[in-house]
Amino acid sequence: MRALVVEELAAEYAGCVVKDMPTPDPRPGEVLIKVKASAVNFPDLMQTRGEHQHKPQVPFTPGMELAGEIVALGEGVTQWKIGDEVAGGSRTGGFAEFACSPAAALHRKPKTLSFGQAAGYQVAYLTAWVALVSRARVEPGAWVLVHGAAGGVGLACVDLARVLGCRVIAASASDEKLAIIEKEYQPDAIVNVTSGFKDRVKEITGGRGADVIYDPVGGDIFDESVRCIAFDGAILSIGFTSGRLPVLPVNYALIKGFSVMGVRAGEYGRQFPEKGRANNTAIWDLAAGGKVHPRVHEEYGLDGWRAAFDTLANRTVVGKTVVRPDL
């Protein structure tokens, strides 16, 4: 099979190459999947440099999310059969023509989703679900400010918050991206954060501020979010794509009575396995019911992996970029 292989950890993907390698055999509890699509995530890029907390031993094939068709079963696998269409994956292996995955980590691909949509669904929508439902416990009518709204986890939050009956403010530094979001997802308001956003958010919310702020950006965005969070609100810290870890002056939290909550959806499921299973069931049920609309920004062949990675690195993506080995 052909696969993208990280042969050494280096900047600018210098250690990455597409090459022929043996098709793996599934171990006990695993299945072998013919990969139809694999989504690109920031951890995939970071792993090529050894900068992610999960550091697989080189050589390895990146790609933590995929969708495809089961072609072989490992010993002890009874919940799947050959020919089943599935989505999910594991921490590596997706950018290849075939990949092994733990059988328990997979979900049946909803007929409502394409392979590309299904490949990029779980991480983004599970993050948004854990943030809004498990952590913030949002209620219908709440104002939710979504930073980085064009990114995978941001756009999933815009989509999911609307399904939950919230009033959504989509925020980005790009008018072009905001126009796409406004057309395809109909948030209650859009805000370009380039010249600041706190006054505009307060104006939109009638002076109260946002009840929930979803922040995958950090840095200056977090600093200003503190100034437009509603009393008794919650700032959900998803990540730090800005590159700067913000510091909270706790007197602001004391005076305004708000909470800052860290969100790691995978770790939440590991700490609370029953809740984790329930959360996964909830998001896949939403997809099967056609209630959410994950967006595929663009699809690339395996040889176009570098251009696919660059859509994230250069922040041109709106939704999810997907690699398809059959292109």
Sign of the alpha-carbon dihedral angle for 133, 270, 45, 1:
negative
Contact 39, 120 (CB under 8 A): yes
> What pLDDT, on the 0 to 100 scale, is given for residue 54?
83
What's the pTM value of the predicted model, to 2 decimals?
0.94
Q: Is the pLDDT of residue 243 over 90?
A: no
> What pLDDT, on the 0 to 100 scale, is given for residue 241?
85
Number of domains composing the chain: 2
Query: Is residue 129 located within the same domain as residue 244?
Result: yes
| Mean pLDDT, the chain, whole residue set | 96
Write the DSSP assignment of 147-212 as a string of letters: TTTTSHHHHHHHHHHHHTT-EEEEEES-HHHHHHHHHHH--SEEEE-TT--HHHHHHHTTTS-EEE
Task: Show the domain range for 263.
Answer: 123-267
Contact 138, 162 (CB under 8 A): no
Tens-digit pLDDT profile for residues 85-134:
999 977 899 999 999 999 999 999 999 999 999 999 999 999 999 999 99
Q: For the chain, how long is the longest CA-to-CA vector? A: 61
Nearest to 4 by CA among 91, 68, 95, 90: 95
Task: Give the CATH number for residue 310.
Answer: 3.90.180.10
CB-based contacts of 274, cutoff 8 Å, min separation 6: none
Confidence band (pLDDT; 50, 70, 90) for 280?
A: very high
Q: Is residue 281 part of a domain?
A: no
Q: Is the pLDDT of residue 53 over 90?
A: no
Query: Is residue 87 located within the same domain as residue 144?
Result: no
> What pLDDT, on the 0 to 100 scale, is given for residue 179?
98
**Which two structure tokens, joined as six digits, stand for 49?**
């440099």
Query: Is residue 102 located within the same domain as residue 51?
Result: yes
